[in-house]
Structure 1
Amino acid sequence: MYLEILDSYQHVIPGVSAISTSQADASCISSGISAALVAAFFLPVICRLVSARSQMHNAPSNAWFGSMKAFFDLFPVIFFFLAFFLSSHDPAHAAALASHVPVLSQVILAAQNSTPPKTPEQIAMLIATAVTMVASVIQLVYALVKWRKVDAMLIVSFVLIMVMGGATLYLDDPDIIKYKPTGLYWIFAAVLLFSQWVRGQNLMKLMMGKQMSLPEPVWNSVNYAWAGFFTVMGALNICIARLFSYSAWVNFKLFGTLGLTVVFLVVQGLFLSKHIADEPVHGDNPSDKD
């Protein structure tokens, strides 16, 4: 798309036709990253509008706001995906980012001077890691300003991104960041099991108990199912990271993870629907008094 725009400008601005393909590709990469950072700035505005609408229309808009909140939680993942694929077209031209996005200059220079030289996908992984760290900071600051508190899940994710992302950039090793999802999944699984076994608290019941009434054994099954799901997802992430290319792993990180989560939720919903249907309905029926 960017190249088509440049071609159309050739008939209007003298000298644009002299721009080489390499310069056009570099401009495309730079524009993509810049667009990602601009979108990071405008996302809080979108969330603010949705929040205002939620206050006006109550329940229906609360569901709408909930979906936007879910999108907000995926904010760093989406920008990792965008940054990776917008900067993986040609690693030699990614150096143009240094002059447009100063925060990436050291990342690109280190990748170019590394021994052995980085592959195109490895450079893209380093760029995406830096962009994700910036997006995570924006996400955390906005949550603090908007809601005056930060969810524990967001804090854990932020710490992992900062620690593993920082190690990725400092050691110039794009493989490190690939194991961040595994760490996050296994922390969630450990918390669910620890609360169940040690503290005697079912976290899934605490989170979902107001929406539905289930027998205690079913709540335990739900808790164990989520712990098992997170454990399997963490192990699957390691397999994808070790056996497949960077592009395959990034695709799995966004699309594969979302797809498997949807499948899990559907299966869980079918399981829970049987037990919800079996729950007795409380309250007096006037017809029963006749």
Structure 2
Amino acid sequence: MKKLLFDLFPLVLFFLAFRFSDIYTATGVAMAASVLQILWLKLTSKVIETSHWINLAVIVIFGGATLFFQNDVFIRWKPTVLYWIFALVLLGGRYLMHRNLMQKFMGTHLVLPGHVWDKLNLVWALFFIITGLVNLYVAFSGHFTESQWVNFKAFGLLGLMLVFVVAQSLWLGRYLQDSSDNSHPPKS
């Protein structure tokens, strides 16, 4: 739980800064929070995950462009670009480098057959692609205000992720239950 809160730190500060000021202040606060997050991990000698580095790079590039050009289009693209990078990493790892990154990340917690790891990797990549598209719709369709997009970024994207994780857990739980039932032959 502490890790989740730590990972959400820049997002929470972005949301609060937007509520008290504007999108540009919120962007600057999120950029600073992301830098502080990396510095804290370094100072405490904790592992800095690849996702932290990717998030830092994307927020600095897109947040920097937002502040430099005084145009919120860039920050609205940030979640989509971040999610699509994650999708590309998962797909590229699997199909170009022949490494299943989901298995690498979660393999110490789960024992699954290769084809299930492949499905899991693909489903996560598809989730990131679709979530990126949903962000683009909310950010640019004209049906939502800037404030509604910020709420969606803070709560909607997180909610989608939680629903996806629960659904995935149910699917994996059912599979693991089926596997354990099949691994013990019935007694005669």
TM over 0.5: yes
Give me the TM-score of the superposition, normalised by structure 1.
0.60
Q: What do you get for the CA RMSD once the two structures are aligned?
A: 1.7
Q: Is 1:132 aligned with 2:30? A: yes
Matched residue, 2:152: 252
Q: Is 1:75 aligned with 2:9? A: yes
Higher-Rg structure is 1
The number of residue pairs the alignment matches comes to: 182
Matched residue, 1:185: 83
Q: Which one of the candidate residues 171, 178, 183 is aligned to 1:271?
A: 171
Render the CA deviation track for 1:202-256: whole Å, top value 9, x for unaligned: 1111111121222221111110000000000111111110022111110100110
Give, in angstroms, the shift of residue 146 of structure 1.
1.1
Matched residue, 1:84: 18
Give, in angstroms, the shift of residue 148 of structure 1.
4.7
Give, in angstroms, the shift of residue 149 of structure 1.
3.9
Q: Is 1:215 aligned with 2:113? A: yes
Structural mapping, 1:11-22, within 5 Å = none
- What is the distance in 2 between the residues matched to 1:180 and 1:249? 12
What amino acid sits opposite 2:19 in the alignment? F
- What is the distance in 2 between the residues matched to 1:168 and 1:193? 29
Give, in angstroms, the shift of residue 280 of structure 1.
4.1
Alignment partner of 1:128: what SS?
helix
Matched residue, 1:42: none
The higher-RCO structure (CA 8 Å, 6+ apart) is: 2
- What is the distance in 1 between the residues matched to 2:47 and 2:134? 32
What amino acid sits opposite 1:80 in the alignment? F
- What is the distance in 1 between the residues matched to 2:20 and 2:99? 45
User: Quick check: 1:214–1:275 contact (8 Å CA) kept in 2?
Assistant: no
Q: Which one of the candidate residues 133, 152, 157 is aligned to 1:235?
A: 133
Structural mapping, 1:37-52, within 5 Å = none
- What is the distance in 1 between the residues matched to 2:125 and 2:38? 26
Render the CA deviation track for 1:172-223: whole Å, top value 9, x for unaligned: 1122111111110000000000111011111111111121222221111110
Q: Is 1:224 aligned with 2:122? A: yes
- What is the distance in 2 between the residues matched to 1:78 and 1:260? 17
- What is the distance in 2 between the residues matched to 1:82 and 1:212? 37
Give me the TM-score of the superposition, normalised by structure 2.
0.91
Unpaired segments of 5 or more residues in structure 1?
A: 1-66, 88-123
- What is the distance in 2 between the residues matched to 1:152 and 1:181? 16
What amino acid sits opposite 2:14 in the alignment? F
Alignment partner of 1:82: what SS?
helix
- What is the distance in 2 between the residues matched to 1:222 and 1:148? 28
- What is the distance in 2 between the residues matched to 1:147 and 1:69? 15
What amino acid sits opposite 1:266 in the alignment? V
Matched residue, 1:174: 72
What amino acid sits opposite 1:174 in the alignment? D
Give, in angstroms, the shift of residue 161 of structure 1.
0.8
Structural mapping, 1:22-61, within 5 Å = none
- What is the distance in 2 between the residues matched to 1:152 and 1:158? 10
What amino acid sits opposite 1:275 in the alignment? Y
Give, in angstroms, the shift of residue 279 of structure 1.
2.5
User: Quick check: 1:212–1:276 contact (8 Å CA) kept in 2?
Assistant: no
